[in-house]
Structure 1
Amino acid sequence: MEINNINSNINNVNQSQNSSLERISTGLKINQAADDAASLSISDSLRLQRSDLSQSLQNLNQGIALTRIASDGLDNQQEILGDIRQKLLQANTDTTSVDGKEAIKQEVLKLTEQFQNIAQTTTFADQKLITPEATSTTLDISTADETFSLDIPNTGQIANELTTLIGATDFGTGDIAAIIDRIDVASNQVSSAQSDFGSTENQLASSARNSITAEVNIAKANSSLTDIDFGKELTDFSKANILTQIGYLVSTQANAVQEQNVKLLA
């Protein structure tokens, strides 16, 4: 009976040692539901939340990249409008010859082509950002909890209107001042779009920082549930190992005594 108790204790210690070894090898307190079903359920929920936050953060970072690309395109367009206005002021004076005014008109038309080219080629993942497609007039950047929406500015239409107005105006006798006024309106439109994209970028960056903080906190919470204390676990494993060796030694001695007793009785 005593030997059976010794063997039972050895088996218990072996199971404890094997469990400890598994925890050390995986670095986790919970390797199966039987270890701690309640904590495992909480850990699974935290992992799901962290996964959602990770994807949301990826969407936000892509959104920030999108707004920056759009802002760069708008910056270039704003610079072109400034160049056009300067040339129009040069043409809108009698100190510039008729031939000179015609040359300026051709330069201005080339600049409007550049403006239109930027409108059509400023894209992110094949999505036009500063002139709308036929079926898409907004940009939506979504996370697990919120959506940031931006109206797509129609800078392509601005380019078309400027090209038509400039092409129809005789720079020798026509109303260049009216074109300058339209340039000022276009500049204000582009500036408004720049402000919208800049504001949205700030909102996305703020949301991204919050997501990072939340993800770190969730990771810490999950770690406290699942990650082992290696120092403690190694100490427990060593203790179990020593107890196992002692158990085997005691069992061997007990078996030897039992055999000796049997011989004496025989």
Structure 2
Amino acid sequence: MIINHNMNAMNAHRNMATNTVATGKSMEKLSSGLRINRAGDDAAGLSISEKMRGQIRGLEQASRNSQDGISLIQTTEGALNETHSILQRMRELSVQASNDTNTAEDRGQLSKELDQLTQEIDRISSQTQFNKMDVLNGKGDEPFKANIQVGANSNQAIEIAINKMDYKSLFSAQRVEATTAVADGVELKKTANVKLTVDGKTVEVKADPKEDKTLTKEEFISELNKSINADKDLAGKVEASFVDNKLTISRVDGSEEKMKVKVENSTGGTDLGLVETDSAMKEYKVDFKSHLVATSSIKEIDRAIEKVSTQRSQLGAYQNRLEHTIKNVDNAAENLQAAESRVRDVDMANEMMTFSKNNILTQAAQAMLAQANQQPQ
């Protein structure tokens, strides 16, 4: 007779407990959809899965960051589109003002619209914002810069640089000047000319062979500029003027090169000056006061249009790059999600089979335990 121990009942109870625990784990996996719910399920697998999850969430955020970057670019590009329209209108006005059928009063009326347009360029530059950031105003002379985080890890950013687009920035040109003092009354004899040599190119203010003539400063400058503009190598690149009672020769073609200037009165071969200059940035003033000035303004506006076009092209390149970045990041996140799923997610069909097996065994153990408890003591 069995008094203290019912071995059959104990064996049935042990198997029932084991099957109950296994059934519970299967139910947990089936209800959560995860093969790994705690480190005890698969320590190494859990570590790998968590690293993958960090990468996946980082890539998803990087994709959103890139979308924000595109929004910034689109905001900026929209403002520059309007700047382009303004510059085209300014060019149209310059062409109109270049026509000498216009009186001084007519040109004055055109200048009123020009002034408003230049103010609007400055307003667009100073007030165009994205998330309260001035995207077209830069920091001093430095461009606006933004780093777009396009990866899940450090040092995975794309820098966007946007140049300042106010009037001064669009119409600043490299202006190189050489100055020398010249007394009023430049004598031009029948056999004498005044020569100007700029970087090896020589132009002359020629004397009238019929009469001796003494020119005022204004007359001399007028004659000198006519000679400069008649030279195809210097026309539109160099201009002469009097500034603070000094003859000033300016390079206005945007070149950053130094300029060597020599002014000579050929009567006695006397040098009026020999100057080598440094370059400096100066703002160009678009003006309609004369045919010559209005015509020069057309060239400067064309340069400004080219600056805006260059910046818009750069923005387009940034946007196209970010669009490809988004596709790549989304693809990487998708593939990494699939890999993480294989590590952590449960195989529902296989786990359902395991659950059914353990559930049947648990029920069988319960039945056998009941039978064992009915055995004679």
TM-score if structure 2 supplies the norm length? 0.64
1:165 aligns with 2:285: yes
Counterpart in the other structure of 2:340: 222
> Which of the numbers 300, 321, 328 marks the counterpart of 1:203?
321
Once the two structures are superposed, the pairs formed by residues 1-266 of structure 1 within 5 Å of their partners are 1-134=7-140, 137=143, 138-143=145-150, 144=153, 145-156=155-166, 157-158=168-169, 165-166=285-286, 169=287, 171=289, 175-257=293-375, 261-262=376-377
CA-to-aligned-CA distance 1:92-138 (integer Å, 9 cap, x gap)? 11233433322211111111122111111222112222221239632
Q: Which has the higher contact order (CA 8 A, sep 6+)?
A: 1
What amino acid maps onto 1:204 in structure 2? L
- % of aligned pairs identical? 28
Aligned mates of 2:302, 2:68 — CA distance in 1 = 32
Runs of 4+ in 1 over 4 A off after TM superposition: 159-164
Segments of 5+ residues of structure 2 without an aligned counterpart are 1-6, 174-282
Structure 1 Cα separation of the partners of residues 132 and 100 of structure 2: 47
How far does the alpha carbon of each residue in 1:201-220 deviate from its partner, in whole angstroms, 9 at most, with x for none? Answer: 11111122111111001100
- Confirm or deny: 8 A CA contact 1:43 1:225 kept in the other structure: yes
- Say which is worse superposed, 93-102 or 5-14, in terms of deviation: 93-102
Q: Is residue 80–residue 115 contact of structure 1 (8 Å, CA) maintained in 2?
A: yes
The alpha-carbon deviation at position 32 of structure 1 amounts to: 0.4
Is the contact between residue 28 and residue 226 of structure 1 (CA under 8 Å) also seen in structure 2?
Answer: yes
Letter in 1 for 2:79: G
Higher helix share: 1
Q: Tell me, what secondary structure is at the counterpart of 1:155?
A: coil
Q: Does the 8 Å contact 2:19/2:362 carry over to 1?
A: yes
Asked if the contact 1:142–1:148 (Cα under 8 Å) also holds between the matched residues in 2, the reply is yes
Shift of 1:60: 1.3
- Superposition deviation, residue 15 in structure 1: 0.4
1:161-194 CA distances to partner (integer Å, 9 max, x unpaired)? 699713xx45356611121111011111111111
Work out the CA distance in 2 between the residues paired with 1:126 and 1:135.
20
CA distance in 1 between counterparts of 2:142 and 2:89 reads 31
SS at 1:34 equivalent: helix
Equivalent AA in structure 2 for residue 70 of structure 1 = T
1-structure distance, mates of 2:115, 2:292:
16
What RMSD in Å do the two structures reach over aligned CA positions?
Answer: 2.2
- Please say which of residues 151-160 and 50-59 is displaced more in the overlay: 151-160
Q: Which amino acid letter does the alignment assign opposite residue 64 of structure 1?
A: I
Shift in Å at residue 23 of structure 1?
A: 0.9
Equivalenced residues, count = 257
Q: Structure 2 counterpart of 1:175, which letter? A: V
TM-score (norm 1): 0.89
Secondary structure of 2:335 counterpart: helix
Q: Which moved more, 1:24-33 or 1:132-141?
A: 132-141
Amino acid paired to 1:233: E
Which amino acid letter does the alignment assign opposite residue 164 of structure 2? N
Residue identity opposite 1:155 in structure 2:
M
Query: What residue identity is the alignment partner of 2:298?
Result: I
Aligned partners of 1:102 and 1:172 also within 8 Å: no
Is contact 1:112–1:159 with CA below 8 Å preserved after alignment? no
Residue identity matched to 1:197: L
Instruction: Give 1:245 deviation, angstroms.
Output: 1.4
